[in-house]
Chains A and B, each alone.
Chain A
Amino acid sequence: MTPYLEVAGVTKRFSETIAADDVSFRLDRGEVVALLGPSGSGKTTVLRLLAGFETPDAGRVVVGGEDVTALPPARRRFGMVFQHYALFPHLDVGENVGFGLRGQADAKQRVDRVLELVDLAGFERRRVHELSGGQQQRVALARALATEPRVLLLDEPLSNLDPGLRERTRRELRQLIARLEITTIFVTHEQEEAFEMGRRVAVLHRGRLEQIGKPEELYERPATLFVAGFVGRANVLRGAAARLVGGKEGHVAVVRPERLRFADGGVAGVVRERRYIGATALFLVESDAGERLEVLAEPDAADVGERVYLEATRVISLPEEGAR
């Protein structure tokens, strides 16, 4: 099956920094991919390159067989939800949602339909600044969907919401996207959000696409040390300690906290802290060699100050960063 959206070797430089460095990935029709990375990793730049607000120095963007790399944003038919929503303050809700439908006979019906979709039926005549943050976010979504875009781009759409509201909105957003079966790219810097929203997650770091894959793959089989550390908690062991837990010679050993357990032999150390979480506790162990290791175990597995030995049930061996 040919991919619906293809990003091939896209590169963008801003004076000194490389914001996107040879980024390539493909999406099937209706697939949802989350772009995950710390701030400054280039994820927003990649999104803007897709939307057409930036033109790449190299590479191309293809949608449904059409090369849109040189096309201005207005002619790409990509819908975008901005981080701060970018609702037009001089227009009411209905006019905002209908902005892209000017001159279309069924504009009114389509505005009604998408407003209903985001649960804002009857809000047409409201001024946007009278709405709550969550409602504004939904208006922005409705506006992007009204033009029936080929690809939906979401730039940290949940980052301006309160934590409680964020979780609920995230679920509703995920269900809506699934129902519409719209090809979607979702930018976020939060791992949990990326895992919930994206069928696949693409991790960006310093403009480079480090890895793209299902959440399980990223967690269990990270391709790089950066991905291992950025996605989930990770104990990074080198040298003798790496050999002790069973890592590959000359590689760095990465062990998730739940993959370490207290045993009779292995890496020796002393429990320095115990953080009670509920069903489990996180133990901070300082090894004799001075490494600080996190262990997730039963709350009563060890006491602070106790001398313990640790062994790993699963080790991820990765080459040293920069050795690639």
Chain B
Amino acid sequence: MKPTRANLAGLALVLLLAWLFVYPVLIVAGQAADRAALSAFLHRPGEWQALWASVWISLASVGLAAAIGVPLAFLFEGVEFPGRRPLGALVALPVVLPPLVGVIAFLFLYGESGLVARAVQGLLGLAHAPWRLHGAGAILLVHAYSMYAYFYLLTRAGLARLDGSLLEAAQALGAGPRETFTRVTLPLLRPSLAGAALLTFMTALGSFSAPYVFGGSFRVMPTQIIATRLNGDLPLAMVETIALAGVAIVGLLVVGRAEAGQQGALVAMGKGAAPRRRAVRGGGARALAAVAGWVFAVVLLLPHLTLVLVSLVPYATWTTQALPPVLSLVNYRRLFGEVERLAPLVNSVWMAAASTTGAVLLALVAGWLVVRRRVVTGRLLEGLLVLPWALPGTVFAIALATAFSVSRPLALRWVLVGTAVILPLAYLVRNLPVAGRAVLAGYRQLDPALDEAAASLGAGRWATFARVTLPLLGPALAAGASLAFVTALGDFVTSIVLYTYDTRPIAMEILSSLRLNELGIAAAFGVILMAASATVLGIAARR
């Protein structure tokens, strides 16, 4: 390695990132190597059940999400009907919506005292709620309902990229519509579908909100870890954490392989016109497509609409009626008027802003070192940037909580747990992949000749960065940063492990509002997060 300044900077950045999240995970692994804890893990049936539950729930989530997302993508990408564009954007909302918001929206709609249960109860004149929303079924329902968005978005993108002349070529060679679909469209979509499967699997594996709220005695690994930790069995919690990380990595390798296989070949060919969207002829078919699109969209967005409705219900005014009798903005007034209520909002905003800024700055430095200076540690840096994505949030939370709860400066460990630093730090780590991907992809698209042109026109390094690089990276950066911001704003999985009363974020306040039966306040917080998510979606769509 040549000891240039760039290479030294690259090395320093590798060490910093490794210290931030590789080192803590290694500490957890070290503490998991505990004979008693390992034996307990191996011999308690509950542990294996939770691990198995995590795996099968994740696999089933992939299947269900595909069953919703893929047809939806074909409908919105393939057929022209009134309202296609706005609805098509709206049904992608779950992809940026914090999971906890989706969960409470579900609770308010399909829960035992939700709108649908009340309607059924009233209709049939039942004394009790007709069902309870809990267990594996409830978790799967929520997963399918929110994670279809990965399949939807990636399939749509794949279809949009599909070279229309390939489909025409198949037809010219005698293939009918069905044959064209199975022999051309589907094989070409394979990378998109594999990518969506991977995303869904990893998200479902790390999913915490749905199992936490609906799981009850049905445990998946993330909720099992939190429960074990709450019981004070720290070594066992460490073993569980490592087990979860192991499953995540195996999943990544297995599903990731299918994704990587063909990508290169398909991108290389991408020429020619996109397939033209069929404006469905004939009033009947056209109306059918429109109805299908609207029904799909309304059903998928109903929980979110319910959230808005519940946020307008003042405390204790909605008892047994099918629909709330009183609607007002009092919850929002309380939320912004009472210092105690406002604090979580303020906390979440500043912590999300700080962590996003940090993640973007780190990503910018890394992008510059990797793409422009081609430092020796480039590949390592890139790997480190996306690594946090491969590990469930619970794993990080436990790792950070373990590593930074003791003061051993010689081992580079300080007490950060309980301070205002730890949560922004955790958010930053979780946001690195989003920011890193956006910046690296943006940097790669920039022609290095632009830098040289700026230099030849007399611009120095900083002037070039400010006047050429940054404006060109702008859109990618804005999309990545805003996604990171919203993720941090609604974070639940790491917050529940690391928060303190003074730094309690929105998600924790939603949870305690639910416990106090302050449904309106919980929903109002949810609506704020939802509005932020919709804004992010708008920013991303404008690109």
Using a CB–CB distance below 8 Å, which chain A residues touch chain B?
51-53, 72-80, 82-84, 86-90, 99-100, 127-129, 143-144, 147
Contact = CB atoms under 8 A, between A and B. Distances in A.
Interface in B134-178: 163, 165-166, 168-176
Nearest to A90: B187
Interface in B196-216: none
Contact of A90 (B176, B265, B271, B272): B265
Nearest to B268: A129
Given A74-B174, A77-B174, A143-B173, A90 B168 contact: no
Contacts of B265: 89-90, 127, 129
A73 B171 contact: yes
A90 B266 contact: yes
Contacts of A84: 163, 165, 271-272
B188 interface: yes
A80 B269 contact: no
Given A84-B272, A88-B184, A89-B269, A53 B173 contact: no
Contacts of A86: 163, 165-166, 168-169, 272
A53 B268 contact: no
Nearest to B167: A86
Nearest to B272: A84
A144 B166 contact: no
Contacts of B183: 99
Nearest to A53: B168
A67 to B, nearest CB: 19
B202 to A, nearest CB: 26
B262 interface: yes
17 contacts: A51-B172, A53-B171, A73-B171, A74-B172, A74-B175, A76-B172, A84-B163, A84-B272, A86-B165, A88-B169, A89-B266, A90-B190, A90-B262, A99-B170, A100-B173, A100-B174, A128-B269
A147 B173 contact: yes
A72 B165 contact: no
A51 B172 CA distance: 7
Contacts of A80: 168-169, 172
Contacts of A52: 171
Interface string B445-487: 0000000000000000000000000000000000000000000
Interface of B: 163, 165-166, 168-176, 183-184, 187-188, 190, 262, 265-266, 268-269, 271-272
A195 to B, nearest CB: 27
A129 B163 CA distance: 15
Contacts of B187: 90
B159 to A, nearest CB: 15
B266 A99 contact: no
Contacts of A72: 171, 176
A21 to B, nearest CB: 21
A52 B269 CA distance: 24
Given A53-B168, A84-B163, 14 more contacts: A51-B172, A72-B171, A73-B172, A74-B175, A74-B176, A77-B174, A80-B172, A82-B168, A82-B272, A86-B165, A86-B272, A89-B265, A99-B170, A144-B173
B174 A90 contact: no
Nearest to B183: A99
B80 to A, nearest CB: 13
B172 A89 contact: no
A129 B187 CA distance: 16
A88 B184 CA distance: 7
A90 B263 CA distance: 10
Contacts of A144: 172-173
Nearest to A73: B171
Nearest to A82: B165
Given A86-B163, A147-B174, A73 B168 contact: yes
Contacts of A73: 168, 171-172
A150 B272 CA distance: 26
B260 to A, nearest CB: 15
Given A53-B168, A82-B165, A87 B174 contact: no
Report the 5 A-B pairs with minimum CB-CB distance, sorted nearest first. A100-B173, A86-B165, A73-B171, A86-B169, A89-B269
Nearest to B184: A88
